[in-house]
Structure 1
């Protein structure tokens, strides 16, 4: 399976989660991400890192509920917990701590937390099911340097998981108990140091093999073109959002920024020399997986997040498409 097919499916579910207002639809997206990542992940460090994303998603939902209770947002509904209000200073207008907690407020907070949890799980599933090295090989030559930095950064989480497993194994061999807060504190520094050493070793290995190397070649046209693209895109976006801005600050600047960025990326890509021993192929499975992610996003956009039965059923089928298509996990590169 092509790595960008997984990312396309996950980004489609992410768009669906951000635009829907249906709690059943959000629950289906969360369940789909959990099932696909759990059943399709491998046994390596990258696959063992997914429980960390699950814990982060649970913490997001819990913190969202706690924030709703502490801030004391006024919402109508049945009061389930009547807490005394704590007034704030005059400069904090409209803000009060605690107060009565209603069922409507809890439901709204839970839906918001579930939406954030869905985003975390979708991105975590894509990161778990794809190899960062394979994704780097599929990037255009102009983005090779940026992709190299991203690969080194994304290797930290799997390295932390592998380092924690090695430290716990060493403690068990020495007869040291690895449970309790003291054990966590005592192993935090060795785990972080080991993970940092692994990431630095990966960076040194990639540098010695010439990853993102330009071999001393430079093109003075690249920097001005990229700066022009950045400034034009920023001003063009502002011109589109501000109705009082002149017309030349809108679409014309966006077109200029896109053209400058394309030319600058093309020139920068010519400076990077790389070889590919094994080329990634985009097969029918990748096309179907991408279509399912795009279909989930398009369904939510067309129905405007409605919670109708057929829409939710179709969303469930699209979200669970990797299991229905019998997609296999990534092979470590």
Structure 2
């Protein structure tokens, strides 16, 4: 039987899926990437509410467990972002402690660990000290402060490892598409750079050439920069071929309405945030913040008309996305509440120097961050 004998409907008829054949979208890919980013940023917000090293270590461990069980294993550069951010966090912690030792600290202390040679400074540099007495109180305070920043960096690394910024770009409103592209390019620069360095070092080892030390670094640096330049040129060509920056004409009244809503929404968010941070603005803080957020979202919705785009297989926002987002938001809210009600437990004192204790209900609140590890099924085939 010829192809024409099949009739016109056969060509457009959908082929039934064989039993056991996976669908085009796996269970893991059904989780919206924005849910992973909101979860990670909420954990970062919770990390800023405490300097207790036990709570911060528990927060880092929770994020590490979720990343270890659910990060992509397809070889994408963002799959190794968590390790890179963890190393960066460790470097930040060490730099913070070194600065406290070398430049001194405003924290007074009585437990002297070592006395370094002090460099005399002119009178206009008062408040800065090079060398001198290093106390245990100043060292512990610097370690607490550095660990808080390190936990924040680790949470950002978890977001990159669980959902690459390129996936998140598909879900942005049309009005923020250009800004989102710039942010995605900036966020993916470090993972691609790390992947290039790892690939070139492996190639040099296979050829029997040194890949460590200053000589190896210099010989690897030039190919890495060359690859970054080639990627930039290829990205520019791809963006031009896809009509990046193309806009459509909209009526003038819609443009004016969009500008008024966006500007008014931002002013409302600023006024509401100021009201929440001050004792006198408690009455108008929340209403102003909610009104500003609503106006800004409406402005973004209208502004998206100028950037017509289509989404290929958009990620749905379902129950799992709400659970992932809600777990992170709950951790941030409970840690903020604990910081206001029991600041001594979340901010252990260093003068006098006391050992930190683990508060029970804030620690239990951090364990809510493990919820995505159980509600989101694992699927290593999902691309990052």
Report the counterpart of residue 167 of structure 2 in structure 1. Answer: 134
How high is the TM-score relative to the length of structure 2?
0.74
Within-5 A mapping of 1:261-272: 261-262=296-297, 264-272=299-307
Report the counterpart of residue 56 of structure 1 in structure 2. Answer: 88
Residue 279, structure 1, aligned to residue 330, structure 2:
no
How high is the TM-score relative to the length of structure 1?
0.84
Long gaps (5+) in structure 2: 1-30, 279-284, 347-357
Instruction: Go from structure 1 to structure 2 and tell me whether the alpha carbon gap of 1:309 and 1:49 turns closer, same or farther (over 3 Å shift).
Output: closer
Report the counterpart of residue 322 of structure 1 in structure 2. Answer: 372
Q: 1: CA distance between counterparts of 2:379 and 2:243?
A: 29
Q: 2: CA distance between counterparts of 1:120 and 1:182?
A: 30
State which of 350, 353, 363 in structure 2 corresponds to 1:313: 363
Instruction: Go from structure 1 to structure 2 and tell me whether the alpha carbon gap of 1:210 and 1:99 turns closer, same or farther (over 3 Å shift).
Output: same
Report the counterpart of residue 195 of structure 1 in structure 2. Answer: 228
Instruction: Go from structure 1 to structure 2 and tell me whether the alpha carbon gap of 1:72 and 1:315 turns closer, same or farther (over 3 Å shift).
Output: same
Instruction: Go from structure 1 to structure 2 and tell me whether the alpha carbon gap of 1:231 and 1:89 turns closer, same or farther (over 3 Å shift).
Output: farther
Q: Deviations over 1:27-46 (max 9, x none)?
A: 11122223332343223211
Q: Deviations over 1:136-182 (max 9, x none)?
A: 11111211121122222222123213322332344345432222211
Long gaps (5+) in structure 1: 244-249
| Aligned-pair CA distance for 1:323 | 2.8
Q: 2: CA distance between counterparts of 1:271 and 1:229?
A: 20
Instruction: Go from structure 1 to structure 2 and tell me whether the alpha carbon gap of 1:288 and 1:253 turns closer, same or farther (over 3 Å shift).
Output: closer
| Higher alpha-carbon deviation: 195-204 or 216-225 | 216-225
| Higher alpha-carbon deviation: 210-219 or 225-234 | 225-234
Three-state SS of the structure 2 residue aligned to 1:77 is: coil
Contact 2:121-2:129 within 8 A present in 1 as well:
yes
- Higher alpha-carbon Rg: 2
Within-5 A mapping of 1:1-333: 1-42=31-72, 43-73=75-105, 74-214=107-247, 221=256, 225=260, 228-229=263-264, 232=267, 261-262=296-297, 264-304=299-339, 305=343, 306-307=345-346, 309-325=359-375, 327-328=377-378, 331-332=382-383
Contact 1:25-1:315 within 8 A present in 2 as well:
no
Three-state SS of the structure 2 residue aligned to 1:20 is: coil
Report the counterpart of residue 8 of structure 2 in structure 1. Answer: none
Contact 1:236-1:252 within 8 A present in 2 as well:
no
Give the length in aligned residue pairs: 329
Q: 2: CA distance between counterparts of 1:55 and 1:44?
A: 19
| Aligned-pair CA distance for 1:190 | 1.1
Q: 1: CA distance between counterparts of 2:139 and 2:129?
A: 17
| Aligned-pair CA distance for 1:120 | 0.4
Q: 2: CA distance between counterparts of 1:319 and 1:253?
A: 30
Q: 1: CA distance between counterparts of 2:334 and 2:129?
A: 39
Report the counterpart of residue 247 of structure 1 in structure 2. Answer: none
Three-state SS of the structure 2 residue aligned to 1:101 is: strand
Q: 2: CA distance between counterparts of 1:276 and 1:41?
A: 24
Q: 2: CA distance between counterparts of 1:296 and 1:252?
A: 24
Instruction: Give the RMSD, CA atoms, in angstroms.
Output: 3.4
Contact 1:49-1:158 within 8 A present in 2 as well:
yes
